[in-house]
Structure 1
Amino acid sequence: MPPALSPGDAVALVAPASWCEAQWLAASVSTIEGWGFQARVGKRVEGRLGYLAGSDQDRAADLNDALRDPEIRAIVTLRGGCGSLRLLADIDTDALRADPKSIVGFSDITAMHKLWGHTGVPSVHGGHGGRHSDVVRRLLMHEPTEPVQADADQFGSELTTTGTATGPLVGGNLEMLARCVGILDRNLDGHILLLEINRSAGLGMVDRALTQLLLSGSLDGVRGVAVGALEGFEGYVDRGWTVLDVLRDRLGLLDVPILAGLPLGHLDDPVPLLLGVMSSLDADAGTLTAHVPTRTRWPA
């Protein structure tokens, strides 16, 4: 577990995927400084190569600089988009193991979460802006946070079943999880799977991604499934089926508790939470709780 951050610690701002606008970079610096930390902007974050924030080499270099710098205590990604998967072979995981530090992001940054999880280091799934911004600060400082409460009015909440499950929380963006099969395979026996899905294509994309995870054995032994935003699928029907039909058909094969309607993923204000630590899913109460370690000890 990365050590808890303290006021004045340095936090790196990097762009492993797509580039962001100058005003978003400025706002991100202001957010980090508002948390009481030093914002250290990567040397190459303003690079542009098509939809990427510069070349693969430059984006990996900024990330590795942050991992190798003992003054940097956490890493915040500026945005998702596309490109994180390209960097997996170039990240200095030895430096990450030697000096663990969390990375913050979601969507395309799921590739980084997979790498952090493969290395054994927890990470923060979520954005660093919006009205839940302070939750990221609290997670990095190992301060208590509230359980994530499902929203019964959120599209997809009717997928919720019954039951409870406990285990380390892993996952993120569905498409990125499927793309990592064969690159970063991990035994998920005893884990809770987090899924957030945005519609970049039709229902076939969701079907193919879930089927790939199922047939590859990636989901063998999963104890529960937490489902966040299903962005873009509201009102979308393909030959009589909606995304809810696809998810019921595919996830039903796991025969585990499902908690849906969680305010995570592609939303205006997603709630951040910690991946890679013991968590509890309670489909009956509608809560997902990450057992964040305190500064002095792990919770009982």
Structure 2
Amino acid sequence: MEPFFVTGRQQAEPSVVSETSILACGKLRDGDLIRYVSPASTPEKQTTLKRAQALEALGFQVDFGPHAFSKYASMAGTDDERIADLNNAFRDPQVRAVFATRGGKGSYRIADLLDFDAVRRDPKPLLGFSDITALHLMLSKQCGSVGFHGAVFGDETSGIDQDNLDLLYRMLTSNGEVVFKTRPEEPTAFLTTEGEAQGRLIGGNLDIIGTMAGWGLPDLSGYILLIEAVDCTPGRIDRVLTTLQKGGHLRGIVGVAIGQFTTADGTQSKRLVSLLRDHFEKLDVPVLGGLPFGHGDKPLSIPLGTLARLDAAAGTLTVAH
């Protein structure tokens, strides 16, 4: 990729983030072991096993952490049990990728207990989204590591999303770039502005980004910020974005990539888009909305921590993998 640039809106200084600071993970090969763990809530077992079978059909081995299906309050086991499963996966040299069974609640409780030395010694990608954003952010802050926002999407009724599975396989096993295109039917597509930006991609669930502010959120200078939200209300989104802005956490970002914002009743989309526009106009950076990431219809997986190019006019986000 070419050096970082911004055109069409804010003229930024060169990014403080460089490709040399990326803690790259090795690519997976046929027969490599993927470990499923549950750092947050307990998954539905049959759906999770079906996703594991889809990965095995691609040629991978799959196993599960001891507490992957445990239950403790709203979480898959106690904090000690969940962090033990997660750290054991990062320490085990046989494990080549770590997949979260689901999001939910609880990853933010254990994010600072990750074995960062083990991650640095043997980098391996973490796949997850929603609450797992807490782990992605902390790993970026402490290690500069690469991961994936997403999942092996599917359920017992609709089956596995083959398009996303094929994309995930490609990103896990090869080097290159993938181009994500805006979906005009997504409400956030109306937030797209103009201009281009380049920087490393970071982010995920907006509510969790706000939760990590002040203790687990890395310096975002030079980054393109990816955000999505679920069951969101205008008031809730306004509080999170105001907290991030007033706290200086959005200072220095070079672009915003907006995924799916799903509301609880589907009636607040127009108010939400107006609110988001009000916040992002103040940043004076290129914004690309309508991207296929999050909790909406047919979401895709996307690399985090690698270099990306945002082209608002073309409606594309190009990400290295």
TM-score bracket for the superposition, by shorter chain length:
over 0.9
Q: For 2:127, what is the secondary structure of its paired residue? A: strand
What is the alpha-carbon distance in structure 1 between the residues aligned to residue 65 and residue 166 of structure 2? Answer: 22
What is the alpha-carbon distance in structure 1 between the residues aligned to residue 57 and residue 108 of structure 2? Answer: 31
Matches within 5 A, 1:212-227: 212-227=243-258
Could you list the per-position Cα deviations for residues 139-177 of structure 1 after superposition, in whole angstroms to 9, with x for gaps in the alignment?
Answer: 111244530100111122111011100000000000000
What is the alpha-carbon distance in structure 1 between the residues aligned to residue 297 and residue 68 of structure 2? Answer: 23
Matches within 5 A, 1:176-255: 176-200=208-232, 202-232=233-263, 234-236=266-268, 242-255=271-284
- The alpha carbon displacement at 1:11 in A equals 0.7
What is the alpha-carbon distance in structure 1 between the residues aligned to residue 174 and residue 139 of structure 2? Answer: 18
Task: Determine the structure 1 residue equivalent to 2:292.
Answer: 263
| Matched letter for residue 303 of structure 2 | L
> Gapped runs of 5+ residues in structure 2?
1-23, 154-160
What is the alpha-carbon distance in structure 2 between the residues aligned to residue 248 and residue 181 of structure 1? Answer: 21
Instruction: Return structure 1 stretches of 4+ with deviation > 6 angstroms.
Output: none
Q: For 2:282, what is the secondary structure of its paired residue? A: helix
Paired residue for 1:122, among 121, 143, 146?
146
What is the alpha-carbon distance in structure 2 between the residues aligned to residue 151 and residue 198 of structure 1? Answer: 18
Q: Tell me, yes or no, if the aligned pair for 1:138 and 1:145 is still in contact at 8 Å.
A: no
Could you list the per-position Cα deviations for residues 208-249 of structure 1 after superposition, in whole angstroms to 9, with x for gaps in the alignment?
Answer: 101111111111111100000011164217xxx701111111
What is the alpha-carbon distance in structure 1 between the residues aligned to residue 48 and residue 185 of structure 2? Answer: 33
- How many residue pairs get aligned? The number is 288
- The alpha carbon displacement at 1:188 in A equals 1.2
What is the alpha-carbon distance in structure 2 between the residues aligned to residue 211 and residue 31 of structure 1? Answer: 41
* 2:28 equivalent to 1:9: no
- The alpha carbon displacement at 1:204 in A equals 1.2
Q: Kindly report the root-mean-square deviation, in angstroms, between the aligned alpha carbons of the 2 structures.
A: 1.4
Q: For 1:242, what is the secondary structure of its paired residue? A: helix
- The alpha carbon displacement at 1:43 in A equals 1.1
Q: For 1:280, what is the secondary structure of its paired residue? A: strand
Q: Tell me, yes or no, if the aligned pair for 2:112 and 2:138 is still in contact at 8 Å.
A: no
- The alpha carbon displacement at 1:9 in A equals 0.6
Matches within 5 A, 1:253-292: 253-292=282-321
Matches within 5 A, 1:71-86: 71-86=94-109
| Matched letter for residue 152 of structure 1 | P
What is the alpha-carbon distance in structure 1 between the residues aligned to residue 30 and residue 282 of structure 2? Answer: 47
What is the alpha-carbon distance in structure 2 between the residues aligned to residue 180 and residue 14 of structure 1? Answer: 21
Q: Tell me, yes or no, if the aligned pair for 2:258 and 2:288 is still in contact at 8 Å.
A: yes
What is the alpha-carbon distance in structure 2 between the residues aligned to residue 34 and residue 282 of structure 1? Answer: 36
- The alpha carbon displacement at 1:85 in A equals 0.3
Q: Tell me, yes or no, if the aligned pair for 1:138 and 1:144 is still in contact at 8 Å.
A: no
What is the alpha-carbon distance in structure 2 between the residues aligned to residue 117 and residue 31 of structure 1? Answer: 29
Could you list the per-position Cα deviations for residues 238-288 of structure 1 after superposition, in whole angstroms to 9, with x for gaps in the alignment?
Answer: xxx701111111111100110000011002421111010110000000000
| Matched letter for residue 243 of structure 2 | Q
| Matched letter for residue 285 of structure 1 | A
Q: Tell me, yes or no, if the aligned pair for 1:35 and 1:134 is still in contact at 8 Å.
A: no
| Matched letter for residue 291 of structure 2 | L
Q: Tell me, yes or no, if the aligned pair for 1:14 and 1:78 is still in contact at 8 Å.
A: yes
What is the alpha-carbon distance in structure 2 between the residues aligned to residue 287 and residue 89 of structure 1? Answer: 34
> Which range is displaced more, 263-272 or 219-228?
263-272
| Matched letter for residue 150 of structure 2 | G
What is the alpha-carbon distance in structure 1 between the residues aligned to residue 218 and residue 44 of structure 2? Answer: 35
Task: Determine the structure 2 residue equivalent to 1:152.
Answer: 184
Paired residue for 1:36, among 59, 72, 81?
59
Q: Tell me, yes or no, if the aligned pair for 1:277 and 1:291 is still in contact at 8 Å.
A: yes
Q: For 1:36, what is the secondary structure of its paired residue? A: coil
What is the alpha-carbon distance in structure 1 between the residues aligned to residue 267 and residue 290 of structure 2? Answer: 16
Paired residue for 2:44, among 14, 21, 39?
21
Paired residue for 1:175, among 170, 192, 207?
207
What is the alpha-carbon distance in structure 1 between the residues aligned to residue 277 and residue 197 of structure 2? Answer: 18
* 2:56 equivalent to 1:59: no
Q: Give the TM-score normalised by structure 2.
A: 0.87
What is the alpha-carbon distance in structure 1 between the residues aligned to residue 43 and residue 229 of structure 2? Answer: 22
Q: Tell me, yes or no, if the aligned pair for 1:199 and 1:232 is still in contact at 8 Å.
A: yes
| Matched letter for residue 149 of structure 1 | K
Tell me the percent identity: 39
Q: Tell me, yes or no, if the aligned pair for 2:258 and 2:290 is still in contact at 8 Å.
A: yes
